[in-house]
Amino acid sequence: MSAIPKHTAKAIVFTCREERLRNQIENIIRSLPGGAFHAALAGGGGAFSFEPDKHVALKQVVAAHKINQITDIYLESHLGCGAYGLAGITFANSQAEITKLHDDLSTARRVITEALLAEGVAAGTVHVHTRVIDLHGKPIDRPVLAKTA
């Protein structure tokens, strides 16, 4: 009987299920030393803001930490995500969409940090990386608001 090699991934990549993203998701996972867990729910990083998906999403992240003591969490959301429309969320324009996706990723970072702290994970030992991308995998920065001073 051959021994099954231990899974040594120290990261989880959390994305939408959108199949058009698969190449860039595979690229991210390949770029991480030891690979990564991959969790996918409609909405990607936005799933942490949707009920009841939030609980399923958090469970995946906490489980990855319990199994392999992951040190890095990569959350992605993408433009044109059908999960937002399904949730009844519409955007006045692309700036509004980009801002909302970044806001939801900030929420995801906060709820994940709270969940890990509640599990007894030491503060600062797990890093949450967030990214909004287009369907080609290109990162889309948060819009910069004009200063009003």
Is residue 76 near Zn ion by the rule CB under 5 A? no
> CB under 5 A: which stretch of 3-11, 57-65, 74-82, 131-139 binds Zn ion?
74-82
Radius of gyration of the chain (CA): 16
**Number of helices (H), then strands (E), in the chain:** 4, 4
How far apart CA 61 and CA 80 sit, in angstroms, is 24
Q: Which of residues 12 and 133 has its CB atom nearest to Zn ion in the complex?
A: 133
The interface region with Zn ion, picked from 15-23, 58-66, 86-94, 120-128 by CB under 5 A, is 15-23
Nearer to Zn ion, 81 or 101 (CB): 81
Over the window 108 to 127, marking each residue x when it contacts Zn ion by CB under 5 A and - when it does not, the resulting string is --------------------
By CB under 5 A, name the one of 12, 16, 36, 108 that touches Zn ion.
16
**Cis? peptide before 33, omega within 30° of 0:** no
Asked whether 72 and 126 are in contact (CB, 8 A), the reply is yes
Should residue 105 be labelled a site residue for Zn ion when binding is judged by CB under 5 A?
no
Residue 108 backbone dihedrals phi, psi, to 5 degrees = -60, -45
Is 140 buried (19+), middle (13-18) or exposed (0-12) by CB count in 10 A?
middle
Binding piece for Zn ion, criterion CB under 5 A, among 66-74, 78-86, 89-97, 116-124: 78-86
Binding flag, residue 81, Zn ion (CB under 5 A): yes
Footprint on this chain of Zn ion (rule: CB under 5 A) = 16, 18, 81
